[in-house]
Amino acid sequence: MSKRDEIAQRVLGKLTSREVAAEATPPRPRPMNTFIGQLGQQVAQGFAARVEELERERESGLVLLRLDPKSIALTEFANRHALGLDPNDEGFKALKESIRTHGQDTPVRVRPAAAGSAQPYELVEGHRRHAACLALDRETDGGFPILARLDAAAKDTRNLVLKMYRENAERMDLSPYEYGRMFHSWLDAKVFQKQGELAQAVSLSDASVSNYLQVADLPTDVLAAFSDPRAIAVRWIADLSRALKLNAAAVKAAARQIAERKPRPSAEAVYRELASFGIADAKRSSSREETVKIKGKVAFSLTRRAGRVTVKFGKTVDRAFQQEVGDAIKEAAERLLSKRLGGK
């Protein structure tokens, strides 16, 4: 082999080894400096940021969804009386037609249902809107979706019931009877342990909460006497409670008779008739006379009338003894009242 051939062979070997090494090493990607490449990167980054934003909104209860109204279940704290959701109720019909014609302006509020629930969501606010959309869903080909705000914070039961309360309180939208039933459901479920705690949470006095509870606690017969228990005014509860305390049997009997009348009397008329038992009995019981006999003869009579007590002695008791008995009554009354009122 000539010297020239030997040099050529060595050069050819080096070139071949470089080509093999180049084939074994994958090519480095070229930086995406084109407009299309940069745009793709921005889209990807923007999508990731939007996903994070939506997640934050979901956690804070700001996400608006369009849902099948059948996918939303009611909780045990639903506070609407069935009559308010009746298809024949004038207010309900007006709401339904408004949503049909103009759409749903105000979303309902929902929370995620517990794992294993039949429906994925539970209603927090908007029972009438939900019922209206359910009715429209049944009547509309292809269904009628409902606009809903997802509120993850309402997973907490106390948060749920207070949001229900505030929504209706702001519109003054519930009747005393519905408020009473709602407060009872909270206490029964131990959402609040005591009535005072509940009153503080809703910024009402104990007396106001007690009045609402008493409306809901009226006997079934009395509630049935009113064609709609939502018409019972909270200012009537004192008179109705007094009548039931003094003569419950008569009040309930009268209520059953009223419920059978056609046409049904107005709520005001029902209240006056049932409350009259308490007023009449109060008058009879406010003036009572008792006669005390000793050895067959009248010793004295005792009359109680509107906070006054009168003693009238019989003919056999002389004036001196009347004075002695009067002094004894005074001493006894002073002693008893001192104990009761904390005096000395």
Coil vs helix vs strand at 244: helix
Kindly report the CATH number that applies to the domain delimited by 56-174: 3.90.1530.10
Per-residue pLDDT of the chain (344 residues; tens, 9 = 90+): 554 455 445 544 554 455 445 555 555 555 555 655 555 665 566 656 655 655 555 555 567 889 999 999 988 777 676 776 778 888 888 888 999 988 898 898 898 888 888 999 999 888 889 999 999 999 999 999 999 988 877 777 787 778 778 776 656 578 899 899 889 988 988 889 999 999 999 999 999 999 999 999 999 999 999 988 989 999 999 999 999 999 999 999 999 999 999 888 999 999 999 999 887 544 545 556 777 777 777 778 878 765 678 888 888 888 888 888 888 888 888 877 776 665 44
Cα separation of 344 and 342, whole Å?
7
110, 121 contact by CB (below 8 A): yes
Cα separation of 79 and 151, whole Å?
19
Cα separation of 246 and 289, whole Å?
18
For residue 310, which of 289, 341, 331 has the smallest C-alpha distance? Answer: 289
Task: Report the DSSP beta bridge partners of residue 300.
Answer: 292, 313
pLDDT for 341 = 64
Extract the tokens encoding 79.
């506070």
Q: Which residue is it, tokens 């539970």?
A: 122
The H or E element containing residue 66 is: strand 63-67
Domain residue spans in the chain?
A: 56-174, 218-307
Cα separation of 194 and 214, whole Å?
16
Question: What is the number of alpha carbons within 13 Å of residue 337 lying toward its C-beta?
Answer: 6
The H or E element containing residue 95 is: helix 90-102
**Biggest distance spanned by C-alpha atoms of the chain:** 171
Sheet with 121-125, side-by-side order of all strands: 63-67, 146-150, 108-112, 121-125, 72-73
Extract the tokens encoding 295.
């050895």
Coil vs helix vs strand at 2: coil
Instruction: Fill in the DSSP letter of residue 314.
Output: -
Residue 253: partners with Cβ closer than 8 Å, 6 or more residues away:
none
For residue 135, which of 109, 100, 168 has the smallest C-alpha distance? Answer: 100
Write the single-letter amino acid at 10.
R
Residue 22: partners with Cβ closer than 8 Å, 6 or more residues away:
none
pLDDT for 54 = 52
The runs of H, that is alpha helices, within 260-318 are: 267-286
